[in-house]
Amino acid sequence: MPTKLTVPISESDIRALRVGDSVLLDGVIVTGRDAAHKYLVEKFIQSPSVPESEKEIYAQLKGLLAGGGIYHCGPVVKKLPSGKWAFVAAGPTTSIREEPYQADVIGYFGLRFVIGKGGMAAKTLEGCRKYGAVYLHAIGGAGTLIAECVKEVLTVYKKDEFGVPEAFWVIRVQDFPCVVTMDAHGNSLHAEVKARSQAKLAELVKS
Amino acid sequence: MEDLTEHFVELVRRTSSDLPADVEKVLKQAREREEPGSAAQSAFDTILENVQMSRGGSRPICQDTGTPIFYVWYPEGWSQRKLREQITHAVRIATEKAYLRPNAVEAISGKNSGDNTGVDFPTIHFEEWEHDYLKVGLMLKGGGCENVGRQYSIPSAEFQASRDMKGVRKAVLDAAFQAQGEGCAPGVLGVAIGGDRATSVIKAKEQFFRPLEDANADPELDKMEKQLYDEANQLGIGPMGFGGKTTVLGVKMAQMHRLPASFFVSVSYMCWADRRKVMSYYPADKRVVIE
């Protein structure tokens, strides 16, 4: 039975999750890939003060991300006749590229989750433990299905500067299916599966 | 020569949105084998639902429509140059129609060409054959799975693999292990033994056109394919690397002549979204079949 999570999510609800748990996510989340993470770290986390030109977007993102999360995704989008945006294909991208930035972004903005595919490494795992967050693995290749989970595209930041795939897309999702593969207790399903499969491989090649 | 551009566009549309029946069948069987309520079974449910939704709406199964790789077998007298022009044009049209994501970026600058064309992009392989009809195979191979392919040079100190089937087996199992779930497992392994570093990989990828449940005409390779299918699945990596009973959907192998000094084993990894279709065009009655 999947666990229903609705943004904003409390730390205790996040700490109750364990690797292997299936999750259905509701609420407003923000997409972010390489350009977005670099921007958050350089303009805000590592900067002595928020640059004047970024104060507006900073206020918006702070509000959106606290208790919420970032989805590693470069969507294919289309503009509707109404002028609003819609997601056409929205599967996850490989998360490991954000490893240098992720833990700091989780801590600073109070994220409760990041969504992506392929998992992340030790620094992020420690950040999840320390700050109370999880890594949610979306289903790779489920481009159409995940796009259908996006019920509304609320707005987009930095589209002109970063381009469509790299922008901050603010989206409302419903029943977005994910699996917890890194929990807030230092467990990583990726590490477990790698260790088990490595032992099996050793057994197979010995024979 | 006939202008087949619109048929090539249709080939792209079908390849991008309509997962082959044999792949869907094997995915369904894999779903049934997983523990009820497991993350692995839930992953298969999402995958199968996505397959249906994409087919129904002519939408790309995955947002990474990958490299369009064409294999063209043409009758004597046809023009490779004209075929290349038509195929390239069809790829542009298919991109405008959103059957494909613009996926061709300049190597160093990363600048997207916008229309899926560029230097040696899309990929087109040509072969003249003895038949009087045209056969065009298309596969869309995404970046995630492309990144977990491997090429082994045997023997190697690291590896303790010898220049025989035992060594080949070790290489293939290692490739399946190293990939973990990162190529959007469960994947298909295309394996070529022999060739040079380039031809070996082309041959490995050509294996993806084989129906998943076929047999290899070479009995020795057939035996190894079945053994490796079983053993790779014993690794327990499962869909997306969640842990599970199905790690590969199939193992398809071929051998080619090689230099005495070289022994390459190329393992290409194709994701579960094994998007491939073959178009046949019969000039006699201008009939087109896409399957």
pLDDT given at position A207: 64
Q: Is the pLDDT of residue A88 over 90?
A: no
pLDDT given at position B158: 78
Average pLDDT across chain A, whole number: 95
CB contact under 8 A, B242 and A200: no
> Would you call A23 an interface residue with chain B, using a CB distance cutoff of 8 Å?
no
pTM value > 0.90? yes
CA torsion sign for A194, A201, A138, B99 is positive
Q: How far is CA A48 from the centre of its chain?
A: 26
pLDDT given at position B88: 98
Q: How far is CA A16 from the centre of its chain?
A: 19
Closest in A76, A177, A197 to B63, CB measured: A76
User: Which chain B residues are Cβ-neighbours of A118 within 8 angstroms?
Assistant: 144, 181-182, 241
In tens, the pLDDT along A2-35 reads 999 999 999 999 999 999 999 999 999 999 999 9
CB contact under 8 A, A200 and B37: no
In tens, the pLDDT along A162-173 reads 888 889 999 999
pLDDT given at position B111: 83
CB contact under 8 A, B242 and A189: yes
pLDDT given at position A162: 87
**Of B159, B218, B16, nearest to A143 (Cα)?**
B16
Closest in B54, B144, B231 to A140, CB measured: B144
Q: Which 3 state secondary structure label does DSSP give A157?
A: strand
Residue with tokens 């205790």: A12
Q: Is the pLDDT of residue A184 over 80?
A: yes
Q: How far is CA A87 from the centre of its chain?
A: 17
Q: Summarize the confidence of residues A113-119 as an average pLDDT.
A: 96
Chain B residues near any Cβ of chain A (below 8 Å) = 37-39, 42-43, 46-47, 49-50, 53-54, 57, 59-64, 98, 101, 142, 144, 147, 170, 173-174, 177, 180-182, 184, 231, 234-238, 240-243, 271-273
**Angle, vertex CA A161, rays to CA A156 and CA A164, nearest 5:** 50
Q: Is the pLDDT of residue A156 over 90?
A: yes
CB contact under 8 A, B243 and A144: no
**Angle, vertex CA B13, rays to CA B7 and CA B15, nearest 5:** 100
CATH of A3-206, one of 3.30.1360.170, 2.30.30.60, 3.20.130.10, 3.40.50.1010: 3.20.130.10
**Angle, vertex CA B66, rays to CA B60 and CA B71, nearest 5:** 105
- In chain B, what are the domains? 5-19+61-142+275-290 (3.30.360), 144-270 (no CATH)
Report the distance separating Cα A164 and Cα A168, nearest Å.
Answer: 9
Closest in A117, A143, A189 to B61, CB measured: A143
Q: Residues A37, A72, A137, A190: which is the catalytic one?
A: A37
Give the domain ranges of chain A: 3-206
Q: How many CB atoms lie within 10 A of CB A35?
A: 16
Per residue of chain B (291 residues), give pLDDT as tens.
899 999 999 999 999 999 999 999 999 999 999 999 999 999 999 999 999 999 998 899 998 899 999 999 999 999 999 999 999 999 999 998 888 988 899 999 888 888 999 999 999 999 999 999 999 999 999 999 999 999 999 998 777 899 999 999 999 999 999 999 999 999 999 999 999 999 999 999 999 999 999 999 999 999 999 999 999 999 999 999 999 999 999 999 999 999 999 999 999 999 999 999 999 999 999 999 999
Report the distance separating Cα B98 and Cα A76, nearest Å.
Answer: 9
Here the ipTM equals: 0.92
Q: Which residue of chain A has the CA closest to B51? A: A142
